[in-house]
Amino acid sequence: MKLTIKKILEITNGKLICGNEEEVVEKYSKDTRTINQGECYVGIMGDNFDGNKFYKDAFKLGAKACILDHFGATDEEMGNIVLVDDSVKAVQQIASYLVDNVDAKVVAVTGSAGKTGTKDMIYSVLSKKYKVLKSPGNFNNAIGMPFALLNYINEDIIVLEMGMNGFGEIDTLSKIAKPDVAVITNVGTAHIGKLGSRENILKAKLEILNGMSNDGVLVINNDNDMLQTVNGINQRILRFGINTPSDYNASNINMKNGKTFFEINNKEYNVPVLGNVFAYNALCAYSVGKLFDLTDEEIYEGLENVILTGNRMQIIEENNYTIINDTYNANKEAMISSIDTLSSFENRKVAILGDMLELGEFEEDIHREVGKYLNGKVDILITIGNLSKYINDEFNGTKYHFDNKGDAINDLKDIIKENDVILVKASQGMKLIEIVDFLRN
């Protein structure tokens, strides 16, 4: 969306330090390493850096303007510089203004697991009929989501991901984006260490309704026990499920040749990734597609050709192994889904699992639950890290535990065999992508 600097000053209550308020900007960046000619640079104070200090670099790289929240008397005036009280708040204000002044519909996706995959599938489906903007990667917090909105040009629909660590965060995002359709994939145990209970996690997820009008639609997974309790809201509820009668149901789920197949209303669909969880994601995308009047054929094509964000159930056939790279993140529900997928293979099954983080006082119990679930489903268990030892304790089969990735890598060549199917999964902070790289190379 094109805005004059004068309009940005009005929206943010900012002050023009220097420059021409009639200049027009359309794109925004917070990173001088990736900024493009003509973009507006936003200096953001981080935990370990101060983005405001790089405004000169931004101008040298072709920035048309800079939005900063501090600018000293000794700093050099150059280009178009807007001074605001808070750069993050300014970006949020501009993003909110954009939503209020374009005709695009907004679809927002949240949940304890499956947010990004579901967002990818909704985007792929809706793109068969409309021009769609999708938030990149995991741009799902108070900084990333507004920047995703500011990528808008002239799309018909905007599909956003909303993440959270505690109360109030999705409330902020919802009031910026004002979704017309809100999706909650599930309510599990992610962030339970901070929120204290799944009931509180549900409350935090339902903040997605706070920016939605009464004409909006809430799309929820009807097989999730917590989401089954959602009733009595102002918005329409559209429910999807596999095991529970819902507005849309999937059945006859099976996996073969690297794809997951399922039926909806007696028509077979497929997605190019393995796992029951992706049948849920696809069913959700189907439900959203129907809200936007897509045909079954358009939805089929969108699901069949979906491209998922990296490191999520990525099947890699290399070095005589089948590697399932699911290293992006982990919680109990995602672990169990990945284990189910691994167990569906016929060859020897090896699970390389690391710690699940941010579980607080529940961390030992949840890791032990995963360990118990593994019994009878895999042939070899390899755990890495401090918390995953609890998974290891509960597994009754052949198992190995390592305190760190380096020790595991040293011994892996003696444990794995040709034709093994190997799942690698942990919270992103464990960086088990290094294990995947080792196996590939």
CA–centroid distance for 179 within its chain:
17
The residue type found at 36 is N
Evaluate whether 125 touches 294 at the Cβ level (below 8 Å). Answer: yes
Count Cβ atoms below 10 Å from residue 265 Cβ, excluding itself: 10
- Determine the Cα–Cα distance for residues 343 and 425; give it in Å rounded to an integer: 14
Q: Collapsing DSSP states into helix, strand and coil, what is residue 26? A: coil
Decide the pairing of beta strands 259-264 and 267-271: antiparallel
Residues 185 and 111 sit within 8 Å (Cβ to Cβ): yes
- Nearest alpha-carbon partner for 77 in 20, 22, 18: 18
Calpha distance 275→73 (Å, rounded): 58
Single-letter amino acid, residue 19? G
Question: Among candidates 407, 367, 350, which has minimal Cα distance to 384?
Answer: 407
Separate counts of helices (H) and strands (E) for the chain: 15, 22
Q: Please give the Cα distance from 266 to 250 (Å, whole number).
A: 9
Domain boundaries along the sequence of the chain: 3-87, 102-304, 314-440
Q: Which of 320, 327, 291, 284 is nearest to 437 (CA)?
A: 327
pLDDT for residue 308: 86
R_g of the chain, CA atoms, integer Å: 23
Q: Quick check: 90 and 51 in contact, CB under 8 A?
A: no
What DSSP designation does 58 have?
H
**H helices of 157-272, where?**
169-177, 192-195, 198-205
Tens-place pLDDT, residues 189-236: 887 888 889 999 999 999 999 999 999 999 999 999 999 999 999 999
pLDDT at residue 48, rounded to an integer: 86
Query: Residue 324 has what DSSP assignment?
Result: E
Give the residues across from 182 on adjacent strands. 108, 218
HSE on the CB side for 265, CA within 13 Å? 13
Task: Return the pLDDT at 311.
Answer: 64
Query: What's residue 331's pLDDT?
Result: 86
Q: Residues for the chain: how many in total?
A: 441
Pairing of strands 15-18, 398-402: unpaired
Distance of alpha carbon 286 from its chain centroid, rounded? 19
**Can you read off the two tokens belonging to residue 292?**
């936007």
CATH number of 102-304: 3.40.1190.10
Q: Pairing state of beta strands 157-161 and 132-134?
A: parallel
Q: What is the pLDDT of residues 329-342, one digit of tens each?
A: 888 988 998 998 89
Torsion-angle region of 335 (φ positive above 0: left; ψ -120 to 50: alpha; else: beta): alpha
What is the per-residue pLDDT for 195? 87
Residue 137 pLDDT = 80
Fold of the domain spanning 314-440: Protein-Tyrosine Phosphatase; Chain A (3.90.190)
Partners of 219 in the β-ladder: 183, 238
Q: List the chain pLDDT tens, one digit each, 441 residues.
A: 899 999 999 999 999 999 999 999 999 999 999 999 999 999 999 888 899 999 999 999 999 999 999 998 889 999 999 999 999 999 999 999 999 999 999 999 999 888 999 999 999 999 999 999 999 887 899 999 999 999 999 999 999 999 998 999 999 999 999 999 999 999 988 878 888 899 999 999 999 999 999 999 999 999 999 999 999 999 999 999 999 999 999 999 998 877 899 999 999 999 998 888 899 999 999 999 999 999 999 999 999 999 888 767 788 888 889 999 989 888 898 899 899 889 988 899 999 999 999 888 899 999 999 999 999 999 999 999 999 999 999 999 999 999 999 999 999 999 999 999 999 999 989 999 999 999 988
pLDDT tens per residue across span 127-149: 999 999 999 887 899 999 999 99
> What's CA 109's distance to the chain center, in Å?
9
Domain 3-87 has CATH 3.40.1390.10: yes
β-pairing, 321-326 vs 314-318, is antiparallel
355/419 Cα distance (integer angstroms): 26
User: Which phi and psi angles does 109 have, rounded to 5°?
Assistant: -125, 130
